[in-house]
Amino acid sequence: MTSTVLVLTALEDVTADLVINALNERNVPVVRADPANIGAGLSFAARIGGTTQSWGGRLATGSREVELGEVAAVYYRRPTPYTARYGHLPTQQREFATAEARHGLNGVLHSLTGALYVNHPVAVARAEYKPTQLQRFTELGLTIPATLVTNDAEEAHAFAAEHGPIIYKPFRGLPFAEDGLAGAIWAQRVDPETFDGSLSVMPHLFQAEIHKTGDVRMTVVGQQVFASRVQAPDSALDWRRGDWNQLIHTPIDVPAPIAAAALAYLESFRLVFGCFDFALTGTGHAAEDWTAIECNPNGQWGWLPDAPAITEAFADILTRKEAAGHDDARRP
């Protein structure tokens, strides 16, 4: 098997660009493809059966081609949803084509024998649920905020009375609007007096507000841990809502129990990489100062000051120069 790295992502992806450039500097063969380009921009043929027990064949973009059996690693970033590819079709045809592409092309790309996935999309999907994340944090001994998931206004009132002040945060980001623009709902303080029957329409995530001294974004790639203390000039509750260019980044040492729990967390989900968010309630020197908020199994890190070192860590993993420590990362 050769060392070809298959990068699955959208055309405009600065984070993927960083990793691809690092691989190019190491003379590692790289093929970049967006599965949603299926058609004139992407063709493939995969075969299995007879004397072969794994998928073989080829994947070709407008500029590159790779034999599926030569893929040693797959960097699964953020490919375009198939719905964008088939958005011009009537509803039934669009949903049929989208499902066929997801089960057909994705089914092959998710099943490359021997390839290391960073991260496998099935593992990503399993690890994206915030309730699942919070439970795993507690199982690993990490501190989390008191949390309620409910669609019952009376339960929300009772939780606020016990743990107030409380905040609300969405489970997922907002989808793109019809005009193609992205939106966001940030973590925000909520007034229990506004709770009414409208809460019953969907689940809501409420948490006790952490009176924090700062935040930490911790990026783990393989066995390497990178952490940066993040502070917003206006001490915003959610640092993501302001101007990221104004954020103050300070390197911070990660207490050994926190680093060990993060590595165990990734291994439990068969992940090789994750971006963890913590709230600090002290100096940050002791593990009890760290409150686990969430882990994005496909998070952004290109904006961090230690992005160059993280980039090299990705290149190390994708070329097997560092033991991933997660043998199951080759399987969903």
> Do residues 317 and 311 make contact, with C-beta atoms less than 8 angstroms apart?
no
Q: What is the pLDDT of residue 1?
A: 44
Tell me the per-residue pLDDT of 19-62, one tens digit each, with 9 for 90 and over: 999 999 999 999 999 999 999 899 999 999 988 889 999 999 98
CA angle, 250 then 251 then 254, to 5°: 130
CA distance 167 to 236: 13
Averaged over 68-91, what is the pLDDT? 93
> Which positions ≥6 away from 298 have C-beta within 8 Å?
76, 77, 78, 119, 124
Given pLDDT bands bounded at 50, 70 and 90, which one contains residue 328? low
**Quick one: pLDDT at residue 186?**
84
Q: Find out whether 10 and 20 touch, Cβ atoms under 8 Å.
A: no
Q: Which two tokens stand for residue 232?
A: 């917003």
Domain ranges of the chain: 4-114, 125-129+211-330, 146-208
Predicted confidence (pLDDT) per residue in 147-159, tens digit: 999 999 999 999 9
Find where tokens 């915003």 sit: 236
As a whole number of angstroms, the distance between CA 265 and CA 273 comes to 10
Helix (H) / strand (E) containing 33: strand 30-33
Q: Which of 166-175, 233-242, 298-307 has the lowest mean pLDDT?
A: 233-242
| Level-2 CATH architecture, domain 125-129+211-330 | 2-Layer Sandwich (3.30)
Nearest to 159 by CA among 199, 212, 122: 199
Side chain identity, residue 21: N
Residue range 146-208, CATH number: 3.30.1490
Half-sphere exposure of 101 (CA within 13 A, CB side): 22
What is the reported pLDDT for 122? 95
Question: For residues 14 and 97, what is the distance between their CA atoms, to the nearest angstrom?
Answer: 29
Residues contacting residue 99 through CB under 8 Å, at least 6 positions apart: none
Question: What CATH class does 4-114 carry?
Answer: alpha beta
